[in-house]
């Protein structure tokens, strides 16, 4: 009977690796990816939720967006915002399209309704931007706190420096606590974007509790439902047929700009 390898311990289904294991250092890839990950956080998870193409039909993009906004507002979901999002087709100086963004905390839907040739397309993407904390966030935070303590001691002496260090640490703690409690405040909306500090703030002051997970699931389900209702309504309405020379009437080169 052959001896088998010892089972690797797991937490939440993921293996817990030793620092001596090469896989332990693969959380963020190579050195440049690691720096980018620390500064910007992980790339958002994007899923194409819906993609419809209406051949030789035209609709008003603004009417579709407004119908979705009205339906979402009727849901009265707390913390939900609907606003236009300008996204360039290529680089920063390339033509752009106006998308509809529906977001709550770190989850959002991105809707694009636009003409393509003599037809029309509508896409819906679901995006998760939650910046999960990693082990190196704690390591970098501990290093920063240590440097701050040394700087205070060098500048003011041992006792005054330690007092100054405690004051600064208490101030940072109070700011994060205020951001977690102040509903609708600018600090609450943007503190998580601060490199290193942001993920730790979310982990300590805005943890991913069962209640937040339930609200997140309800937001995704309800908004997805009202968007599909609006899209299904397009099949029941009279589309705007592209004007042709045989039919008469003015030719509209880009109805999306007028919609």
Interval 10-34: pLDDT, tens:
544 555 555 556 555 555 455 556 5
The pLDDT score that the predictor gives to residue 207 is 80
Span 198-216, average pLDDT: 83
Span 68-73, average pLDDT: 94
Give the Cα separation of 30 and 224 in Å (integer): 37
pLDDT in tens, 166-176: 988 888 888 88
- Quote the tokens at residue 183: 């509903």
* Of the candidates 81, 72, 115, the residue with the CA atom closest to the CA atom of residue 97: 115
DSSP 139-179: HHHHHHHHHHHHHHHHHH-HHHHHHHHHHHHHHHHHHHHHH
Give the Cα separation of 86 and 110 in Å (integer): 11
Span 194-215, average pLDDT: 81
- Residue-level length of the chain: 259
The pLDDT score that the predictor gives to residue 9 is 55
**C-alpha triplet 239, 243, 244: angle, nearest 5°:** 135
> Which carries the bigger pLDDT value, residue 197 or residue 3?
197
pLDDT band at 100 (very low <50, low <70, confident <90, very high): very high
Give the Cα separation of 150 and 161 in Å (integer): 8
Residue 115's H or E segment, with its range, is strand 107-116
For the chain, give the mean pLDDT. Answer: 76
The pLDDT score that the predictor gives to residue 101 is 93
Query: Domain residues of the chain, as ranges?
Result: 41-130+212-258
- Quote the tokens at residue 199: 């993920």
Q: Which residues contact 131 (CB under 8 A, 6 or more apart)?
A: 41, 42, 106, 192, 198, 199, 202
* Of the candidates 71, 55, 37, the residue with the CA atom closest to the CA atom of residue 117: 55
Q: Which CATH class is domain 41-130+212-258?
A: alpha beta
Give the Cα separation of 107 and 80 in Å (integer): 10
Give the Cα separation of 186 and 249 in Å (integer): 50
pTM across the whole model: 0.63
């Amino acid at each position: 009977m052959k001896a088998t390898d010892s089972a690797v311990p797991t937490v939440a289904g993921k293996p817990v690796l030793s620092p001596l294991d090469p896989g332990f250092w693969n959380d963020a890839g190579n050195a440049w990816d690691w720096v980018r990950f620390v500064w910007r956080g992980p790339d958002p998870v994007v899923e194409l939720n819906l993609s419809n193409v209406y051949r030789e039909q035209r609709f008003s993009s603004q009417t579709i967006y407004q119908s979705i906004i009205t339906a979402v507002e009727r849901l009265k979901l707390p913390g939900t915002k609907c606003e236009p999002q300008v996204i360039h087709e290529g680089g920063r100086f390339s033509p752009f399209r106006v998308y509809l963004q529906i977001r709550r905390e770190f989850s959002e839907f991105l809707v694009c309704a636009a003409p393509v040739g003599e037809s029309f397309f509508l896409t819906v993407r679901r995006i998760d931007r939650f910046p999960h904390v990693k082990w190196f966030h704690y390591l970098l935070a501990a290093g920063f706190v240590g440097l701050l303590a040394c700087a205070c001691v060098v500048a003011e002496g041992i006792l005054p420096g330690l007092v100054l260090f405690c004051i600064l640490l208490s101030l940072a703690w109070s700011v994060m606590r205020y951001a977690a409690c102040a509903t609708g405040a600018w600090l609450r909306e943007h503190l998580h974007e601060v490199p290193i500090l942001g993920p730790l703030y979310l982990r300590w002051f805005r943890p991913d509790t069962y209640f937040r997970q339930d609200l997140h699931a309800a937001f995704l389900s309800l908004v997805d439902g009202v968007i599909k209702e609006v899209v299904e309504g397009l099949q029941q309405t009279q589309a705007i047929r592209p004007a042709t020379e045989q039919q008469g009437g003015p030719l509209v080169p880009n109805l999306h700009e007028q919609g």
